[in-house]
Chain A
Amino acid sequence: MQLTLWTYEGPPHVGAMRVATGMEGLHYVLHAPQGDTYADLLFTMIERRDRRPPVTYTTFQARDLGGDTAALFTRALRDAAERFRPEAVIVGASCTAELIQDDPGGLAESAGLDIPVVPLDLPSYSKKENWGAAETFYQLLRRFAAKGAARPATCNILGPTALGFRHRDDVTEIAGLLSRLGVTVNLVAPMGARPADLARIGDAAFNVVLYPEIAGQAAAFLQRRLGQPFTRSIPIGVGGTRDFIAEVAALAGVDATPLLAEEASRLPWYSRSVDSTYLTGKRVFVFGDATHAVAAARVARDEMGFEVVGLGSYSREQAREVREAARALGLEALITDDYLAVEQAIAEAQPELVLGTQMERHTAKRLGIPCAVISAPVHVQDFPARYSPQMGFEGANVLFDAWVHPLMMGLEEHLIGMFREDGEFTDTAPSHLGHAAAPAPVSAPAPAPAPAHAPLALAWAAEAEAELRKIPFFVRGKARRNTESFARARGLSTITVETLYDAKAHFSR
C-alpha cells in the first residue's frame, strides 16, 4: 500500500481517455463501476471541452456483481457502437473491472461488431496515466499503421493528446516551424487524428516526437515497423528549439540555415539585457514530467543564468534521462511520485524559485517561495485562452515571462536589501504581485523521517539571528543552512555574527 495525499498521475485508463478524447471517430468503452465517470470533468472542466469525451462506461453497481457483468459490458459496447457510429472502438477495464476479470477484449471480439475493436490491457495496480496513454497510442498504431509512400521532407507530429499541458499551442508553434523549414506535416496524432488517418502514417519520411512520455513507444515501433526515424531533441527553450530544427533538417534533407539565422525568439535579448543581471545564479528547483523537467533545467541554466539546485521527475519510465541531465548539473536526480518527498527536497534545497507542477505551486506557496508551472498535472488556469506554447521560439518568450514574473523585481530587491525596516515593502513577497503578504510561516513540512544521526544542537546568538534577518528573505534560508553546516563542520555550538560572516566568506570563495 502506498499512502497518497496527491497523485501526479491518474490511473492508466485516464491516459487511454486522453488519447480517445484527443482523436476523432474513436470511441472508448470502459468497464468501470458507477462513479468513475468523474473523469469526464477533467475534460469538460479543466480543459473546457465543449463535448462529452467519447467514452461509454458500463457503470456497474454492487447488485450487478452477482449477475452478469460481462453481458452488461457487451450491451454497453453494442449500444455505443450503434449510437455513436465510430470508425473504431477501444475497449478496456478500469481498476475495479480489472479485478472482476470479464475480459473486455474477448467479449468485444465475440460481440461481432463490423468496425475494428482494439483491446487495451492496462494494469491499473502497477502503471499510471502516461503509460496508459503511450500504450493506447501504440496499440492503435499496431492495429492501423501501414506502409506508405514515405514522401521526402514529410513528417508526422506525434504525442499531443487531450488534457496535455499546452499541447494545443505547442502543435501550432511546431507546425509553423516545420512549414518555415519547408517540411510538410503529414499527420498530427493522436490529437485531431481519426483511426483511418493512422493508416496513412507511413506516408511520412520521419516522425517528430513532441512528448516522449506519450509517443516514445509508438515512435520506436514505427521505426521498427516502417523504418521511420524520429526526433530526440525537445524544442523547449531557444537551444532546444535550435537543436530540434537542425535535427529535423537533417532528417528531412533540407537546409536549416535560413531559419536558424532568423532568430525568432526575444528570450536571448531579454536575458542579456542588464535588467536581467540580477537573475544570475538564482537558485531554482525543477520538478515535473521528465521531458519538461529536463528541458526546463537546461533553459534555467543556459538561457536564464539560474543555478539549478534540484532536478526531479515523477516519470519513472524516463528516469534514466533525468538522472543523466541531473548528473550533468552536478546533482542527484529526485525520482519519486511521493509529493512529501518533493516537498522535503525543496525545503532542504532552499531555492529562490520553484519550477514544477500544480503540486509544487502549493508546496512553494506554503514555503513562501516563488513558483511557476512547467508541467502537468495542472489545473484549469494552465489551460489558458491566450496563445501560450512552451515549445519553439514563441514558447521561449512565454517561458521567460512566466518564470521571471513570480520573482521580485531587481530594484525592489536592492532596496529591501538596503533598508530593512520599511513597513510597506514587506520582506516576504514581491510587491508587483499586489498582495502585502503576511510573513509566511515557513512551517516545517510534515515531519520527515528522523535522520539516522541527530545533528549537533546549534544555537544562534541573538545578534547573529538579528543579522541573519538583514539578509533578503529569498536567500536567507540558504544563508542559514550554509552557516549552520559551516558551524557544524567546525564543531561550533553557538553561531555568532562572526560565524555568520566567516561562513559567508567561506562559501563565496
Chain B
Amino acid sequence: MSLALEAGCEARPVLRERGQREVFCGLTGIVWMHRKIRDAFFLVVGSRTCAHLLQSAAGVMIFAEPRFATAILEERDLAGLADAQEELDRTVARLLERRPDIRLLFLVGSCPSEVIKLDLAKAAQRLNARFAGVRVLNYSGSGIETTFTQGEDACLAALAPELPGSDAPQLLIVGALAEVVEDQWRRLFAAMGVHRLAFLPARRAGEMPAIGAGTRFLLAQPFLAETARLLESRGARHIPALFPLGAEGSTEFLRAGAQAMGVGEARFREATALAEARAKAALAGPRARLEGRRVFFFPDSQLEVPMARFLARECGMEPVEIGTPYLHRAHLARELPLLPASALLSEGQDVERQLDRCLAARPDLVVCGLGLANPLERQGITTKWSIELVFTPVQGHDQAADLAGLYARPFARREMLRV
C-alpha cells in the first residue's frame, strides 16, 4: 500500500467550534507521567481545585507511593508574589527532605499560577542552584493553555532542551509508552539490526537519551507538537509516519523508522511479518462486533484521528464525527487522507451543540469522557470512555486486538445483559 499517493492533500473541511469544552486540563498528564519516570516528582503550583482534580483523576492510585503533590496557593501567596517565591522554595525544600530519592522535579504551572504570573522558570533556576543532585524543571499543565494529553507534550518539551547532545545516528521514539510496548519494539528493531534505539521519556531521569543531528525521531503519540518542534531545534529530524495503532499503523510506523535507519524492505518484512499477521488474525474477533457500526468521537486526547482511521480501516466501522481538541495537520498528514470522506472532522468544542449533533446522528458507539458517558448510556447510547485509551497499552502489533477489544467490549456487554 502506498500512502504517498494521497498525502499532501490539505483540503479536508474541518468544523471549528468554540463554546463549553468538556475536557481535562494538562495536569492530568501527571497521572501517567509520574509512573513512567520513576524518579521524577511533579509538584503542581495551583489551587485546591488542582489538587482535587488530581486526586479525582488518579483515584486510588494516589496512594501507591504518589510522586506528585500540590502546593496550594493561599490568600497570602496571592497578596505578594515575592513571598510566594520564598514560600515555594520552602515547600520544595520540605518535599525534597521527605523524598531524597527524587532526581527530577517538575514544577507544574496551573491556571491560577499562570494568571498571577508566578514565574516558575525563575523558581526552577533558583532551586537548581540550591539543590545538588536534583534537576528542577518547569512546564505548564494549566487548563487555559493545555488540554489533557498536551500535559505530556509540555512535560517532554521541558525535557527536550535538557537532553545531552550527541550527533551519533540513532532512532528515537517519542511519547510515553507502556514498558511492554517499548520492549517489543526493542526486540523488533534489534532483529532488523537497529540497536541505536532510544525512548523519550526514559524510565529514569539519569537515562534520558542524548540527541543531535544524527537523531531521527518517530512520534508515537499525536499530541507532541511542541516537543517535536524543540527536538528539531536541536538538530533531530522527524520521520513522518502513521501512528502505531492497529496492524496497519504499527507496520507503517515501524517501516518509517526502519527506512530512516537504512534497513531494507526485505529485512524489515522478515522482522515484522509475523507480528503483523498475528495482529490481523487477532483482530478478526473484535472486528465481528464492530463492523458496520457508526462511531462518534468527542474531543479528548488528540488520539481521535488515528483511532478513527484504525476503526474505519481495520474494524470496518463508520466514523460519523471525529472531534479532536486540537488538529495538528503536519503530524496527521499521513492519517487524514485515510479517513473516510464521509466523516465530519471537528476541532474545538461547543459541547451542547456537539451533543445535539450526536443525539441526532444516533451513532452505535460514542467515544467520550467520563462526564458524558453515563448520561449518554442512560439515553440508550453505547459509549466507550476515552481516558482508558490513554492508560492502556494500545500501540504496536501485539496490542492491536486489545485496542479493538476496548471498543468491542461495550457491545459485548450490551448483548450479555438481560436486565
Contact call A44/B371, Cβ cutoff below 8 A: yes
Contact A5 B371, CB 8 Å, known A36-B143, A58-B20: no
Contact stretch, chosen from A94-102, A142-150, A203-211, A487-495: A94-102
Contact call A1/B77, Cβ cutoff below 8 A: yes
Question: What is the minimal beta-carbon distance from A65 to any residue of chain B, in angstroms?
Answer: 7
Given the complex of chains A and B, what is the CA–CA distance between A447 and B99 in angstroms?
A: 9
Contact call B377/A50, Cβ cutoff below 8 A: yes
Q: Which of A35, A49, A126 is the one whose CB lies under 8 Å from B74?
A: A126
Q: Tell me if A6 counts as interface (CB < 8 A to partner B).
A: yes
Count class of interface residues, chain A? 35 or more
Instruction: List residues of chain A with CB within 8 A of the CB of B115.
Output: 65, 96, 99-100
Interface string of A33-50 (1 = CB under 8 A from B): 111111111101100111
Contact call A379/B60, Cβ cutoff below 8 A: yes
For residues 255 through 311 of chain A, which have their beta carbon under 8 Å from a beta carbon of chain B? none
Cβ-closest chain A residue relative to B27: A35
Question: What is the minimal beta-carbon distance from B326 to any residue of chain A, in angstroms?
Answer: 11
Contact call A6/B374, Cβ cutoff below 8 A: no
Contact call A79/B49, Cβ cutoff below 8 A: no
Contact call B144/A96, Cβ cutoff below 8 A: yes
Instruction: List residues of chain A with CB within 8 A of the CB of B125.
Output: none
Question: What is the minimal beta-carbon distance from B107 to any residue of chain A, in angstroms?
Answer: 12
Interface string of B34-57 (1 = CB under 8 A from A): 000000000001011101110111
Question: What is the minimal beta-carbon distance from B402 to any residue of chain A, in angstroms?
Answer: 23
Question: What is the minimal beta-carbon distance from A95 to any residue of chain B, in angstroms?
Answer: 4
Q: Which of B25, B49, B56, B372 is the one whose CB lies under 8 Å from A124?
A: B49
Given the complex of chains A and B, what is the CA–CA distance between A42 and B97 in angstroms?
A: 34
Contact A6 B377, CB 8 Å, known A1-B73, A96-B115: no
Given the complex of chains A and B, what is the CA–CA distance between A38 and B25 in angstroms?
A: 8
Cβ-closest chain B residue relative to A76: B20
Given the complex of chains A and B, what is the CA–CA distance between A35 and B112 in angstroms?
A: 12
Instruction: List residues of chain B with CB within 8 A of the CB of A152.
Output: none
Q: Which of A11, A48, A62, A64 is the one whose CB lies under 8 Å from B49?
A: A11
Contact A1 B84, CB 8 Å, known A33-B144, A38-B24: yes
Contact stretch, chosen from B64-72, B153-161, B336-344, B392-400: B64-72
Contact call A125/B78, Cβ cutoff below 8 A: yes
Contact A35 B25, CB 8 Å, known A3-B94, A61-B145, A379-B60: yes
Q: Which of A5, A7, A35 is the one whose CB lies under 8 Å from B143?
A: A35
Interface string of B275-317 (1 = CB under 8 A from A): 0000000000000000000000000000000000000000000
Contact call B84/A34, Cβ cutoff below 8 A: no
Question: What is the minimal beta-carbon distance from A58 to any residue of chain B, in angstroms?
Answer: 7
Contact call B374/A34, Cβ cutoff below 8 A: no
By secondary structure, the A interface counts as mixed
Contact call A38/B56, Cβ cutoff below 8 A: yes
Q: Tell me if B111 counts as interface (CB < 8 A to partner A).
A: yes
Question: What is the minimal beta-carbon distance from B388 to any residue of chain A, in angstroms?
Answer: 12
Given the complex of chains A and B, what is the CA–CA distance between A34 and B72 in angstroms?
A: 19
Instruction: List residues of chain B with CB within 8 A of the CB of A57.
Output: 20
Cβ-closest chain A residue relative to B370: A41
For residues 79 through 96 of chain A, which have their beta carbon under 8 Å from a beta carbon of chain B? 79, 83, 94-96
Interface size, chain B (Cβ < 8 Å): 64
Q: Tell me if A453 counts as interface (CB < 8 A to partner B).
A: no
Question: What is the minimal beta-carbon distance from A264 to any residue of chain B, in angstroms?
Answer: 32
Q: Tell me if B234 counts as interface (CB < 8 A to partner A).
A: no
Contact call B375/A51, Cβ cutoff below 8 A: yes
* Interface-centre pick from A44, A45, A50 (highest chain B CB count, 10 A): A44
Interface string of B9-20 (1 = CB under 8 A from A): 000000000011
Contact A96 B111, CB 8 Å, known A35-B24, A45-B370, A50-B375: yes
Instruction: List residues of chain A with CB within 8 A of the CB of B25.
Output: 33-36, 38
Q: Tell me if A414 counts as interface (CB < 8 A to partner B).
A: no
Instruction: List residues of chain A with CB within 8 A of the CB of B57.
Output: 38
Contact call B47/A11, Cβ cutoff below 8 A: yes
Cβ-closest chain B residue relative to A83: B352
Given the complex of chains A and B, what is the CA–CA distance between A96 and B114 in angstroms?
A: 9
Q: Tell me if B263 counts as interface (CB < 8 A to partner A).
A: no
Contact A33 B91, CB 8 Å, known A11-B47, A50-B378, A52-B375: no
Q: Tell me if A501 counts as interface (CB < 8 A to partner B).
A: no
Instruction: List residues of chain A with CB within 8 A of the CB of B111.
Output: 33, 35, 95-96
Contact call A2/B74, Cβ cutoff below 8 A: yes
Q: A interface vs B, CB < 8 Å?
A: 1-7, 9-11, 13-14, 33-42, 44-45, 48-52, 56-62, 64-65, 76, 79, 83, 94-96, 99-100, 123-126, 128, 362, 365-366, 379, 446-447
10 nearest A-B pairs in the assembled complex, by CB-CB distance: A35-B143, A35-B25, A40-B371, A50-B378, A95-B47, A96-B111, A41-B370, A362-B63, A10-B52, A33-B143
26 contacts between A and B (CB under 8 A): A1-B72, A1-B84, A2-B74, A5-B68, A5-B70, A7-B70, A7-B72, A10-B52, A35-B27, A35-B143, A36-B25, A39-B56, A40-B372, A44-B372, A51-B375, A58-B20, A61-B144, A62-B145, A79-B19, A95-B47, A95-B48, A96-B49, A99-B115, A99-B116, A362-B63, A447-B98
